[in-house]
A and B are shown apart, each in its own frame.
Chain A
Amino acid sequence: MDDIELRAQLEKHHTASYGWALSCCSQNRTEAKDVLQTAYLKILEGRARFGGKSTFRTWLFSVIRNTAADERRRHWLRRLGLAKFAEEKEIESSLKEGKSDDEQQEVTKAFKAALKELPRRQQEVLHLVFYQDMTLEEASEAMEVSIGSARTHYERAKLNLRKYLDAQGDET
């Protein structure tokens, strides 16, 4: 794949990639943008190469996921727990920037908070299936786990969110 084709593919999946980067960075917009840039850089430099074993989107998502994991490891502030505070501030400010109405904002905010309570793998599989409309098989490829493992994470995530979803169902 040449540079022009690569750029076209990246541009095509840019919005979805940003959504996935946000999910990998616990909804931190600044970090998500950095991760996305680093992932593009990896691809541009040839440190991550598309082998054609899966779809381009699945491969791109696994590159973004690995980049976010690397950044997390590097981020020493995160280990101290200070970043959690910064993230919460970031989410609050990003929600304030949004154009949607207050009620919708509250619902999304509560949902994001409920999602954050889940283990990372469970958050990832739900995002890939419901946000990115991927099949479980595609999600497992992007997460670099077996299909069986992805299914387990998926079922557990839904089970963990059941309480929250039932409460939402009662409200609507």
Chain B
Amino acid sequence: MNNDKHDTKLKELFGRMRDEDTASTPSFNSTFPATGRKYMSTVLIWRFASAMALFTLIIAGPFAFHTCSSHKSIQVASQVAPEKWTSITSWEAGTDELLSSPYDGSNDMSTDSLLDIKSFTYND
């Protein structure tokens, strides 16, 4: 019984709310065309974005290709250079063995004979 009373009261209160809202409802024609405009603006945005993407592809495509090909030649050059470096680093001097062998003052050098010839020639 009390529940029915509450239901009736709720119906009455919500009814008042509905009357107020109905009076202030924006017309369908003022809401729907706005939706149409929003829809159109969304469509236009997408079309503009697609056109820009296509334009960028056309303009930037050849430039990107050119950049890519010049980048390739740099890559080739950088691939060649290490080989040179490799050959230099693996180079060994004829006197390298002197650095590793201990020196006690008695070791004959392979060039000692030349020194003797020079001094001989000079004294003459």
Contact = CB atoms under 8 A, between A and B. Distances in A.
A19 B21 contact: yes
A162 to B, nearest CB: 7
B47 interface: no
Contact of A18 (B7, B13, B21, B36): B21
B13 A36 contact: no
B16 A10 contact: no
Given A37-B35, A41-B35, A104-B16, A98 B23 contact: yes
Given A41-B35, A45-B42, A100-B19, A15 B25 contact: yes
Interface stretch (A48-56, A74-82, A105-113, A135-143): A105-113
A85 interface: no
Given A14-B28, A107-B16, A40 B21 contact: no
A127 B21 CA distance: 13
B24 interface: yes
Contact of A165 (B6, B18, B23, B25): B6
B22 A37 contact: no
B10 A165 contact: yes
| Interface size grouping (class) on chain B | 20 to 34
B83 to A, nearest CB: 60
A37 to B, nearest CB: 5
A152 B50 CA distance: 50
B39 A161 contact: no
Nearest to B11: A130
Given A19-B21, A98-B23, A161 B10 contact: yes
Interface in A34-82: 36-38, 40-41, 44-45
B84 interface: no
Contact of B10 (A22, A38, A130): A130
A67 to B, nearest CB: 12
Nearest to A33: B26
A112 to B, nearest CB: 7
Given A37-B34, A165-B6, 12 more contacts: A15-B22, A18-B26, A19-B18, A22-B21, A33-B31, A40-B32, A130-B7, A130-B10, A130-B11, A161-B6, A162-B6, A168-B9
Interface of A: 7, 10-11, 14-15, 18-19, 22, 29, 33, 36-38, 40-41, 44-45, 94, 97-100, 104, 107-108, 111-112, 126-127, 130-131, 158, 161-162, 165, 168-169
Interface of B: 3, 5-7, 9-11, 13-14, 16-26, 28, 31-32, 34-36, 38-39, 42
Q: Give the 8 A-B residue pairs with the shortest CB-CB distance, closest first.
A: A130-B14, A40-B35, A14-B28, A131-B14, A18-B25, A11-B28, A19-B21, A111-B13
